[in-house]
């Protein structure tokens, strides 16, 4: 994906909009192009808007895609549907499926499949508004997301009222989400409560990292329980109290236990050199509307988990860690 990185001169007088500055420099990008093609805008490593004000010494990173389709079209793609009514569709997303159209993945996404399943027409390209607003309107019904290589439960809203309700539930952290993952290494205790800030890794913009003793970034909290250990591998149950990008992957790495098959936060594994990301969204507990009781949804573990655990059982003896809880990390 094309990108541009600009450093604002130290003696620059602040107050100019980001898009105005980018349009004014040699080899920059005009403002209308920024609106339609920009996929991510960072100011000093943090998400920014086109209208953000800049100062001397600031670093601007922009990723864009020129080949943006005119419309997001319905596509007949098979889905594993866990539950469906007039308001929601709960899907067990397969590994490798992108949640919504974005740079490099304009077709074959969950949104394309849902438009077809719901009998909806194509979504026209949105050209008015900021980059984040434009992208949001290309995601009809999507109230949360899973990474491309994470499998499991995702709930999608069929109408605006349900979408607003579910968004409010996610924002208020009233929806319980549980994941299963297989990691390389053993956690410091059988169960724990990880609390850190999560910031973008300035050395590798594709990654994030967990940091403490700072207000920088966004607060993230993850609860984990080690189900079993097999040699240097562990099977973990994880519940997230916040929903940050790559949160579980970042926090497992922070514990010294990167997820098996994680090409961004881990390393190639000798026993499983071809492993894909071993992270699955297994359970969700949610109220579907203000008058409803909490409802539990579950997605069966994919075959790759059974294959991996069976291989571990052949090579190692199953162990259970002593129940000692570490101090919370703040």
Instruction: Give the side-chain half-sphere CA count within 13 A for 63.
Output: 12
Q: Specify the pLDDT at position 69.
A: 62
Mean pLDDT of 33-60: 85
Number of helical H runs and strand E runs in the chain: 7, 17
CATH level 3 topology of 71-171: Pseudouridine synthase (3.30.2350)
pLDDT computed for residue 326 by the predictor: 47
State the pLDDT at residue 328.
42
Do residues 191 and 302 make contact, with C-beta atoms less than 8 angstroms apart?
no
Span 19-46, average pLDDT:
81
- In which residue ranges of the chain is CATH 3.30.2350.10 found? 71-171, 176-319
CATH 3.10.290.10 for the 3-64 domain, yes or no: yes
Strand 218-230 with 318-319, pairing: antiparallel
Sign of the Cα torsion 105, 110, 111, 116 reads positive
How far is it between the farthest Cα atoms of the chain? 66
Provide the pLDDT confidence category of residue 255 given band limits of 50, 70 and 90: very high
Domain with CATH 3.10.290.10 in the chain: 3-64
Confidence of residue 172 (pLDDT cuts 50, 70, 90): very high
Model's pTM, two decimal places?
0.79
Which tens digit of pLDDT belongs to each residue from 176-185? 999 999 999 9
Tell me the average pLDDT of the chain: 88
User: Phi and psi dihedrals of 135, rounded to 5?
Assistant: -65, -40
User: 138-162, pLDDT tens digit by residue?
Assistant: 567 889 989 999 999 999 999 989 9
Tokens of 232: 């240097």
Mean pLDDT of 74-85: 95
Instruction: Assess contact for 315 and 181: CB atoms under 8 A.
Output: no
Active site residues: 147
Q: Which helix (H) or strand (E) holds 59?
A: strand 59-64
What is the distance between the alpha carbons of residues 181 and 235, in angstroms, rounded to a whole number? 6
Q: Give tens-digit pLDDT for 98-140.
A: 998 776 677 899 999 999 999 876 555 544 554 445 455 556 7
Residues 195-242: tens digit of each pLDDT: 999 998 877 878 899 999 888 889 999 999 999 999 999 999 999 999
Tell me which DSSP letter residue 56 carries. T
- Residue 215: both structure tokens together: 């207000």
Q: Indicate if the pLDDT at residue 70 is higher than 70.
A: no
Sign, CA torsion 85/86/87/90: positive
What top-level class would CATH report for the domain 176-319?
alpha beta
């Amino acid at each position: 994906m094309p990108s541009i990185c600009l450093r604002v001169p130290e003696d620059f007088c602040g107050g100019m909009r980001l898009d105005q500055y980018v349009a004014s420099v040699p080899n920059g990008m005009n403002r209308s192009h920024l609106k339609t093609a920009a996929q991510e805008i960072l100011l000093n490593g943090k998400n920014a808007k086109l209208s953000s004000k800049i100062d001397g010494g600031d670093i601007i990173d922009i990723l864009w895609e020129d080949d943006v389709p005119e419309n997001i079209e319905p596509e007949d793609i098979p889905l594993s549907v866990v539950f469906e009514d007039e308001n929601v569709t709960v899907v067990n997303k397969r590994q490798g499926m992108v949640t919504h159209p974005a740079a490099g993945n304009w077709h074959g996404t969950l949104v394309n499949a849902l438009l077809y399943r719901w009998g909806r027409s194509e979504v026209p390209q949105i050209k008015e508004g900021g980059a984040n607003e434009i992208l949001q309107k290309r995601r009809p019904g999507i109230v949360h997301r899973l990474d491309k290589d994470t499998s499991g439960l995702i709930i999608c809203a069929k109408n605006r009222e349900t979408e607003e309700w579910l968004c409010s539930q996610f924002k208020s952290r009233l929806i319980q989400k549980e994941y299963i993952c297989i990691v390389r290494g053993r956690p410091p205790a059988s169960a724990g409560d990880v609390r850190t800030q999560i910031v973008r890794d300035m050395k590798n913009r594709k990654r994030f990292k967990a940091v403490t003793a700072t207000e920088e970034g966004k607060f993230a909290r993850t609860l984990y329980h080690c189900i079993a250990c097999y040699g240097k591998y562990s099977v973990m149950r994880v519940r997230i109290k916040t929903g940050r990008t790559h949160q579980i992957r970042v926090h497992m790495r922070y514990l010294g236990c990167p997820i098996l098959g994680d090409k961004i936060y881990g390393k190639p594994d000798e026993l499983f050199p071809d492993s894909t990301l071993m992270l699955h969204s297994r359970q969700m507990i949610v109220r579907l509307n203000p008058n409803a009781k909490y409802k539990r949804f579950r997605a069966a573990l994919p075959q790759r988990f059974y294959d991996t655990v069976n291989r571990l059982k052949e090579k190692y003896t199953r162990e259970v860690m002593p129940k000692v809880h570490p101090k919370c990390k703040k």
